[in-house]
Structure 1
């Protein structure tokens, strides 16, 4: 991964973890979902005016010309917006990646509903603002706010589309300008799919720059490197490259750091790496025990308590389903470390989800437990598997729930660390991982082999576990397309 990409990922991830990140989405984010850009939106209007939209640089003016030619009647423009953006197209991978991150503020000039749909699909309560009166209302227990500063496809009559609309924006929708200015001051934005030709945003950026001068918050924008278009001459291509360089340099006046990619697919890779690193701060601990041999229950519970404390001290967020026999010991150690540290909120350091036991209907219980497992495991980047046995009658058997949690973790791309030395399900999972070559990770394979060896002293496992967790949190050099 290129150094500039590594730097961006680290910096923006820090803003996400601090709760200071925001997204600004332009038309380029929605284009892969099948929605048109502005040029194709106004293309049929331009054709009515005998204009070639490919020769026009001011597309807002084209929309205005069409309204003027129809005696200020906007029906055709409204119809074009509805036809272009009302389709129930699913969000793209990039929308879903952004929606899964703990980002609470989204701004867009798009009319479509892709952002709010992705957020709802991620299980979040979304507060959508596309009209000024909505700014004064608050959706109860909202997880994210989506500001649609140019309106929504459901109300094309209120969409910002023509030069008249832009000229009246400060008087008609000035509250959006104030809200955006406030967010630009207090949050670090990532601009995705945005061309920086919108006069409203330029006005807000200028206001912030003049007010804060050399004390502006840093923002980021992802651009695709200028490529040669079909039927474009060498001279035209060189001109385009020079202009892009000048635009990117100009953005530095607003403390916006550009990040260049060669292909749009690289944006997905970058966002996926941000999500992976964010999730890797959370370690899911899958454990259960009814039989504590050969160590005995006091030794096993003492080990789990020490492990819980060590994971918190290593700055990991612990997620657990409070496994039978050992879950409370893990929870106790983690809680003690949180209180000793006296930094942050308990819910920021630990995710505790005890499994509901009193569901009489077996099919319903299985369904609820599956959803529960999917939810908690998908929040983690690392999964630790310990012990894994239960009583069935008088027999001690492998805990099938732990096997299922391992399978779910793999489905979600979680780094799995089964500690075979603790026996039962953990041993089976360690043997499976070793047999699979630890998915091509030689260091993990060697560590799992070493952790498969029997231990008299369980506490000898803690340091290797912490080292494996630390290694899993490092930036993966997965994206060869970003190394050139």
Structure 2
């Protein structure tokens, strides 16, 4: 079995390289109050079939029996719509996924929580049918592929629900099946929200088996160990033995398991993946009106030191002042030391640079956040020098998308000093580098202190 660090390291690397994808099951929506498969079917099974579900029931087959009872799938789908077309809040798992560098998500869920959460900061294209997958979509940051349809977008016949739907899936949805085959070969998947015996994941495993001896990539699944506080020890042992057999069978088709005891462990795994998936990236922000651009200035020295760190990538927001000092020194040092600058520097356009007076226009702050969103979503760490409302807007966005933040205090009442009073920023900083936090509260940190703290953040 894999350890959490194995999954974090390997899957984060896949996301950095653009070859990772997440496959989301019902367990990710459960904390939002969305009914799982059994809960969806329980009432209608009792009403239509006069049976009570038990944990060993084959749920797609139960759905098939419900349809067979009237030779009409309308009542089943109407029941699904009645239950699922409500307002459910997104949860911490959705939020953590939305902060990661994920370009492709597959899901067997009917609900819209996943795409709704990503739309906060991304342009999302949802594929809920074969026609949609065939048509594609150009203007997108994220693809969400709804393998079994969508409660809002799909026609009744397009929702995969019954045993017949599962049996005919690859015949009725050839474009989806082809895309799944290709992604299982081209991408590394992380499966989340699936449990032992889940009928949805069985369908995916069938497709992996059909690929046979083709070069499948290594995939990962995070599952909670079976626990039942009301069961006898021998019953728990038997259930765990069955779960282990299932996980061993998954490994046969390239899906390696990481078992956890508590869901808080999944939170930590996703939190670390969300940051590590952005790569060793840093963005430096501060006032565009800085006037100490000398060879001895703090930002210039920081830029020189960052250039010496192998593998680090500086994000250039094309800002004047602080950002330009850092970037100029960074580029000059790379060129002087004959370091290939192309993989070490990423440019993000800044329309404000064309007219610096715009940076103090309060009415354009919402536009600034929209323009800066791709940059901040790409940054693992943001270093903050003193600045005014433009800098404050970037820091707020950095917090929203989950960046780690290093304040660099320069004055008693400056922005970085105020940020040290924000527990969202100060608590992680205190836990990771208490020496830096202490020096920052005392009012001065050297460029060397900033880089040391930065490297701890990048590799923690």
TM-score bin (small chain): 0.7 to 0.9
* 1:168-247 → structure 2 map (5 Å cutoff): 168-195=168-195, 196-198=198-200, 199-208=202-211, 210-212=212-214, 215-228=215-228, 230=230, 232-247=231-246
Counterpart selection for 1:466 from 439, 442, 451: 451
Q: Does the C-alpha gap of structure 1 residues 297 and 233 become closer, same or farther in structure 2, counting only changes over 3 Å?
A: closer
Q: What is the CA distance between 1:36 and its match in structure 2?
A: 1.1
Residue 290 of structure 2 contacts residue 322 of structure 2 at CA under 8 Å; is this kept in 1?
no
> CA–CA distance in 2 between the matches of 1:408 and 1:105?
23
2:99–2:402: 8 Å Cα contact kept in structure 1? no
How far apart, in 2, do the equivalents of 1:432 and 1:95 lie?
Answer: 26
Structure 1 position 470, deviation (Å): 0.7
Deviation at 1:452, TM superposition (A): 2.2
CA distance in 1, matches of 2:421, 2:40: 55
Q: Give the drift of 1:220.
A: 0.7
The match for 1:58 is 58
Deviation at 1:338, TM superposition (A): 7.0
Alignment match, 2:79:
80
| CA distance 1:52–1:229, change in 2 (3 Å) | farther
* In structure 1, C-alpha distance between the alignment counterparts of 2:294 and 2:175, rounded to whole Å: 62
Q: Per-residue deviation at 1:80?
A: 1.8
Q: Cα distance 1:344–1:149, how it changes in 2: closer, same or farther (>3 A)?
A: farther
Corresponding residue for 1:329?
325
Q: Distance in 2 between matches of 1:321 and 1:350?
A: 6
Q: Structure 2 vs 1, CA of residues 125 and 432 (structure 1 numbering), >3 Å: closer, same or farther? A: closer
Find out whether 1:443 has 2:435 as its counterpart: yes
Cα distance, 1:243 vs structure 2: 0.6
**1:452 and 2:426 matched:** no
C-alpha distance 471-450 of structure 1, shift in aligned 2 (>3 A): farther
**Deviation, structure 1 residue 319:** 3.9
Secondary structure of the residue aligned to 2:356 is coil
Give 1:464 shift. 3.7
Mark the structure with the bigger radius of gyration. Answer: 1
Q: Secondary structure at the match of 2:111?
A: coil
Q: 1:242 to 1:193 in 2, by over 3 A?
A: same
Q: 1:301-343: per-residue Cα shift (whole Å, max 9, x none)?
A: 6x74564354244233334555554433333334456775447
Superposed displacement of residue 191, structure 1: 0.4
Instruction: Quote the offset at 1:442 in angstroms.
Output: 2.2
TM-score (norm 2): 0.83
The answer to whether the 8 A contact 1:317-1:350 is kept is no
Of the three residues 307, 311, 318, the one matched with 2:306 is: 311
- The total of aligned residue pairs comes to 444
Q: Contact 1:418/1:426 (CA < 8 Å) preserved in 2?
A: no
Alignment check: 8 A CA contact 2:288 2:323 kept: no
CA distance in 2, matches of 1:11, 1:309: 30
Q: Deviations over 1:418-453 (max 9, x none)?
A: 445xx4479884698499896354232355479827
Q: Distance in 2 between matches of 1:138 and 1:77?
A: 30
Which is further off, 192-201 or 317-326? Answer: 317-326
In structure 2, relative to structure 1, the CA distance for the partners of 1:255 and 1:289 (3 Å cut) is: closer
Residue 144 of structure 1 is matched in structure 2 by 142
* Cα deviation digits, residues 41-78 of structure 1 (max 9, x gap): 111232121222115421111111121121x2112111
Give the equivalent residue in structure 1 for 2:265. 266
Task: Tell me the distance in 2 between the aligned counterparts of 1:361 and 1:311.
Answer: 29
Closer, same or farther: CA 225–68 of 1 in aligned 2, 3 Å:
same
Q: Distance in 2 between matches of 1:93 and 1:382?
A: 21
- Distance in 2 separating the partners of 1:286 and 1:419: 10
Residue of structure 1 equivalent to 2:127: 129
Q: Which whole-Å CA distance do the structure 2 matches of 1:97 and 1:281 have between them?
A: 19
Is 2:364 aligned against 1:380? no
- The aligned counterpart of 2:151 is 153
Q: Which runs of 5+ in 2 are unaligned?
A: none
- 2:95 corresponding residue in structure 1: 96
